[in-house]
Amino acid sequence: MDENKEPIALILGLRRSKVFSLSIMARQEWLFQRLYGDKVPNLEELGPDDKLRRQGELIIAFFDAGVDTLRNPGTFPNQQINELMTLFWRLVGNKITPTVLHTGIPGLAFWGEVRGVESMGMVFVPQTYAELCVDDPAMQLGALVFTASQARDFYNGRQAVTDEVKARAYAYEGEFLKTLIETAPAFTPNEYQRRVLIQFADGIETNYRKLKYQSMPFVMSKS
């Protein structure tokens, strides 16, 4: 693989990403062929000494650790965030919302497409993700929460990128930041995080009649 060619895409996955339905697989192939052509490798298809594979495995470890931390009430005591990240874990882990290493983006990003009755969402993970996590773990945990909110909306049929979808993602990030301040006294919000906290001081309860809703339960497709 030519590592200087931009962009490079690589289908990643989480520890719990080995089971997915044929219908999901078909949507995945349809989307990736449209974006990148016919040659989009899975991580497992690369040799054990491949540089991109080693980088992908390191990224998966950081991604896994972040999601695991946020979905576990023992490590992050906030039910709203725990429930959000548990759904995100299931969506990503079952490749309903697959993760993709991408060299052409600066940070985590959710991307979705709808074509008639077909739809597909995915999470783009930057090639520098491990370094970003080391440099500023709080920012990257917040980015996970923001992205998970968008994935949750997409799963619940709220697939247009509206002001409401963006506001909900910021509100969830505000919810995360509120708990982080309470549980990590040494944490000091940066300028961006202070703006989120000011605008969404009540977290997901901010303008809750518009932003808060009950997610439909996770159900694995049997088709």
Asked if residue 101 belongs to a domain, the reply is yes
SS3 of residue 125 by DSSP: strand
| 159 located within any domain | yes
Is 200 a domain residue?
yes
pLDDT tens column, 48-76:
777 777 887 888 899 999 999 999 999 99
Under 8 Å between Cβ of 130 and 59: yes
Lowest-pLDDT choice from 127-136, 193-202, 209-218: 209-218
Q: Max alpha carbon distance in the chain (Å)?
A: 52
Instruction: Report if residue 150 sits inside a domain.
Output: yes
Q: Indicate whether 49 belongs to any domain.
A: yes
Indicate the SS3 state at residue 141. Answer: helix
Does the pLDDT at position 77 exceed 70? yes
Give residue-wise pLDDT tens across range 177-190: 999 999 999 999 99
Amino acid, single-letter form, for residue 139: M
For residue 96, the model assigns a pLDDT of: 83
- C-alpha span between 220 and 96 (Å, rounded): 9
Instruction: Please give the residue range of the domain that contains residue 156.
Output: 9-211
Question: Residue 11: its pLDDT value, please?
Answer: 46
The pTM for the full model equals 0.81
- The number of folded domains in the chain is 1
Q: Determine which helix (DSSP H) or strand (DSSP E) holds 113, and give its type and residue range.
A: strand 109-115
- Determine the average pLDDT of the residues in 112-131: 83
More confident position, 39 or 143? 143
Q: Which amino acid is at 77?
A: P
11: Cβ contacts below 8 Å, ≥ 6 apart: 28, 32, 40, 41, 42, 43, 98, 99, 100
Residue 216 lies in a domain: no
Tokens representing 10 are 């690589």
